[in-house]
Structure 1
Amino acid sequence: MVQTSRQLFLQHQAQTSDFPLLLEIERAEGVYMYGPDGRRYLDLISGIGVSNVGHRHPRVLEAIRNQLDKYLHLMVYGELVQVIPAELAHALVETLPPPLESVYFTNSGAEAIEGALKIAKRHTGRTELISCLNAYHGSTHGALSITGSESFKNSYRPLLPDVRHLRHNDFSDLALITERTAAVIIETVQGEAGVRIPGPYYLPALRRRCREVGALLILDEIQCGYGRTGSFWAFEQFGIEPDILVCAKGMGGGMPIGAFISSTEIMSGLKTDPILGHCTTFGGHPVSCAAALATLRVIQDENLVAGVAAKAARFRAQLQHPAIRAVRGCGLLMAVEFESFQVLKLIIDHALAHEGILTDWFLFCDNSLRLAPPLIITDEQIDEACAALLRAISEVIN
């Protein structure tokens, strides 16, 4: 008896919840995904912030094919000179202020967080790590340790010791940062908390406090970087610069890659005492780096960042309904708030089943609808999406 893909998925792939979407996708292109029956789905979440240039962008595919004709994996990270990873590192540095000039490539955002935490402790000689409540930084043990939700952590203790949490955007908590603190890690714009944007003075005050006590400031732009918020890096909008920057998700055009970036001085700590202070077999994989370099060039050459504000405003103008309590956003990272998770889940399910619209909620704000479409989304596609969402809301509420 031949088993279906759905049966194989449920029987042999480890599950992360009791209610997976179970949406089978055969192909994807641009802002759309297609099922085996040809049904089209409009992707409003970009694979959770990954497909910033859309699915299967032609230039990303071309870069992947070109690299496939040369070589795949050759050696563990940092030993051989490979043209594409070197060019990607240079291209990234050109988007950043000095002294952010040294790039370490990883396989994922969580792995990049791990590297950033290690190098902060190595450089400062301190152990305390501080993050924000309702922050999400990944699921590996170190990243989970600094995630700001006890319910996500309790089943996996013991985790890293010496971790403290600040209330996001609360100036009084900055006093918790002391000479014991190795680093403060914060999402420039909080994602899984439901798109929480810091006030205009908060991040500069945090930056000053870190300098006063000699703590490093790590900005997690895994979700909010690469043009999503209306500037290439979100921190550009807040008048600060990090000591360490972490990126991933939208970086690879659909391929797995992440990075942590800092000064040569800070990153040099990985070379001695011990050597190979941080090592990875597949980090900086040439195919992923080729896709990432093409993604960066697409964002720059097609000037995608310049259109983000107008597209976000178009969503806001149309998403008007008595059931919508608030719309929060920074560029094309938006949260549409409803009364409860129960109401929102009905809307999400109806939009998917009847309108062909793929959306989601946030881990730590489950009454808010996630909107993070590919940056290439057109005005017509925004209108299509908003009309479909409003029909779904009205159908559920009525």
Structure 2
Amino acid sequence: MSYLFPTYARWDVTVKEAKGSWLTDENDKKYLDFVTGIAVCNLGHADDDVMQAVGEQLTKYWHTSNLFQQPIQEDVAKLLVENSDGEAVFFCNSGAEANEAAIKLARKHTGKTKIVTFLQSFHGRTFATMSATGQEKIQQGFGPLLETFTYLPYNDVAALDVLEDDVAAIMLEVVQGEGGVIPAEQEFIDKVNETCKRIGALLIIDEVQTGIGRTGKPFGYQHYGLSPDIVTSAKGLGSGLPVGAMIGKAPLIETFQPGSHGSTFGGNPIAMAAAKATMKKILNDDFLKEVEEKSSYLVDKLVQKIGNHPLVNGIRGKGLLIGIECKEQVGMLIDQLREQQLLVLSAGPNVIRLLPPLNVSYEEIDIAVGIIDKLFSTAKETASAQ
């Protein structure tokens, strides 16, 4: 009997310990982890520098609330501002909360309520962020949603022409993670940017999955020559400690004055210590260059080994967020990879999603590709026999 609500389809794996790119279960079976807590453990598990920073903060104090000055919040905010186009940061506890803050800020600042998002997007599971998400399966069973969201097709330039000046913001992911690992096309991003300026809407970029180095730049939007009004971040920010952030440009600061928004645990000093140590390692040119090099290496290896496999439609992504699109549902393939001690995710029914640590070794990439290649070779032999 479990005392938990059955809200997750849990795997039959109980983790005993984890370090770097590897998990060990209660039976001492080791798994190569290309899930990383769903793009959370960007430095792998139990990074020594993050652990030291958190340990030092634990000896000082754990929580005071945001009634007090907290210099460590300023340190983390400075790192986020220096590596983005924003000027101010609001801290919270998750990606959904960061997106909630972005939605509230956009509506309050513009005085408008309509927000445009895109089909197959994913922005969270609170009522506002569930309403922002362009997937019916996320919304079913909860009754009326917030009415002020409009969904357009992703990467569809012409669809943006219908928008008028009643829109508060356009909100999107530059790589739709949960929606299938679908990168935005440059022409589409340029049209979104142009449309925001034409209709007086804010541009919100959801970087919950793509932020903090995952794509080979501090934030994924930086591949596209954008300067968004609001950026949200969470998953990779704290190496597994719960932390989210909304980053906004200077004109928005006056809109979020005392009493307009808040979070009891937002900016908790333990989470801030983890975020500061995480970003100090990731957000430097040499580290990010290696992420891009490892991305190219991983994609090239996958294309070489399985690119022409009859089950594979394509391999795509940015940085170390990679999707293998298949011609059938991938649930069974993911189960079989787990049996072979490689942990991966789905992204929609037909895409295998790879999210290795950003500091994954080339040897570990080779191991992962070897396991994938072996499975697909077996699948090919089975298909031929049938």
Q: TM-score range by the shorter chain?
A: over 0.9
After the TM superposition, list the runs of 4 or more consecutive aligned residues in structure 1 that deviate by more than 4 angstroms.
none
- CA deviations on 1:183-238 (whole Å, 9 max, x unpaired) are 11000211112111122222122111101111000000000111111111111110
TM-score normalised over the length of structure 1: 0.91
Q: Give the conservation status (yes or no) of the 8 Å contact 1:347–1:396.
A: no
- What is the alpha-carbon distance in structure 1 between the residues aligned to residue 297 and residue 270 of structure 2? 36
- CA deviations on 1:225-254 (whole Å, 9 max, x unpaired) are 111111111111101110001001001111
Aligned to 2:155: 169
Most deviating of 201-210 and 58-67: 201-210
Aligned to 1:138: 124
- The residue type equivalent to 2:353 in the other structure is R
Q: Give the conservation status (yes or no) of the 8 Å contact 2:218–2:283.
A: no
Cα RMSD (Å): 1.4
- Of the three residues 160, 164, 171, the one matched with 1:178 is 164
- What is the alpha-carbon distance in structure 2 between the residues aligned to residue 90 and residue 312 of structure 1? 28
3-state secondary structure, aligned to 1:303:
helix
Aligned to 2:105: 119
Aligned to 1:361: 346
- The residue type equivalent to 2:247 in the other structure is I
Residue segments in structure 2 that go unaligned for 5+ positions in a row:
none
Matched, 1:16 2:7: yes
Matched, 1:84 2:75: no
- CA deviations on 1:315-346 (whole Å, 9 max, x unpaired) are 222223313221011111110011211xx222
Q: Give the conservation status (yes or no) of the 8 Å contact 1:346–1:396.
A: no
Q: Give the conservation status (yes or no) of the 8 Å contact 2:212–2:283.
A: no
Q: Give the conservation status (yes or no) of the 8 Å contact 1:119–1:267.
A: no
3-state secondary structure, aligned to 2:350:
strand
Deviation at 1:38, TM superposition (A): 1.6
Q: Give the conservation status (yes or no) of the 8 Å contact 2:125–2:138.
A: no
- What is the alpha-carbon distance in structure 2 between the residues aligned to residue 262 and residue 301 of structure 1? 22
- The residue type equivalent to 2:343 in the other structure is L
Aligned to 2:282: 299
- What is the alpha-carbon distance in structure 2 between the residues aligned to residue 229 and residue 72 of structure 1? 32
Structure-to-structure mapping, 1:90-109, within 5 angstroms: 90-97=78-85, 100-109=86-95
Most deviating of 316-325 and 183-192: 316-325
- What is the alpha-carbon distance in structure 1 between the residues aligned to residue 334 and residue 138 of structure 2? 23
Aligned residues: 376
Most deviating of 344-353 and 215-224: 344-353
Residue segments in structure 1 that go unaligned for 5+ positions in a row:
1-6
Most deviating of 157-166 and 54-63: 157-166
- Of the three residues 360, 369, 382, the one matched with 1:386 is 369
Aligned to 2:294: 311
- What is the alpha-carbon distance in structure 2 between the residues aligned to residue 346 and residue 155 of structure 1? 27
- Of the three residues 305, 318, 329, the one matched with 1:330 is 318
- What is the alpha-carbon distance in structure 2 between the residues aligned to residue 177 and residue 217 of structure 1? 14
Compared with structure 1, are the counterparts of its residues 210 and 324 closer, same or farther at alpha carbon in structure 2 (3 Å cutoff)? same
Aligned to 2:41: 51
Aligned to 1:279: 262
- CA deviations on 1:133-168 (whole Å, 9 max, x unpaired) are 000000000000010012221311211112101111
Q: Give the conservation status (yes or no) of the 8 Å contact 1:30–1:56.
A: yes
- What is the alpha-carbon distance in structure 1 between the residues aligned to residue 127 and residue 188 of structure 2? 29
Aligned to 2:195: 209
Q: Give the conservation status (yes or no) of the 8 Å contact 1:179–1:215.
A: yes
Compared with structure 1, are the counterparts of its residues 301 and 58 closer, same or farther at alpha carbon in structure 2 (3 Å cutoff)? farther
- What is the alpha-carbon distance in structure 2 between the residues aligned to residue 305 and residue 325 of structure 1? 29
Deviation at 1:301, TM superposition (A): 5.3
- CA deviations on 1:24-69 (whole Å, 9 max, x unpaired) are 0011110101112221111112111101111111000001001001
- What is the alpha-carbon distance in structure 1 between the residues aligned to residue 284 and residue 228 of structure 2? 26
- What is the alpha-carbon distance in structure 2 between the residues aligned to residue 184 and residue 154 of structure 1? 23
- What is the alpha-carbon distance in structure 1 between the residues aligned to residue 295 and residue 218 of structure 2? 15
**% same residue:** 34
Q: Give the conservation status (yes or no) of the 8 Å contact 1:56–1:254.
A: no
- CA deviations on 1:322-379 (whole Å, 9 max, x unpaired) are 13221011111110011211xx2222111111x21101101xx211100110001011
- The residue type equivalent to 1:337 in the other structure is E
Q: Give the conservation status (yes or no) of the 8 Å contact 1:177–1:210.
A: no
TM-score normalised over the length of structure 2: 0.94
- What is the alpha-carbon distance in structure 2 between the residues aligned to residue 46 and residue 366 of structure 1? 20
- The residue type equivalent to 1:61 in the other structure is M
Matched, 1:259 2:245: yes
3-state secondary structure, aligned to 1:218:
strand
- What is the alpha-carbon distance in structure 2 between the residues aligned to residue 239 and residue 210 of structure 1? 15
3-state secondary structure, aligned to 1:157:
coil
- What is the alpha-carbon distance in structure 2 between the residues aligned to residue 73 and residue 176 of structure 1? 48
3-state secondary structure, aligned to 2:170:
strand
Aligned to 2:137: 151
Most deviating of 302-311 and 143-152: 302-311
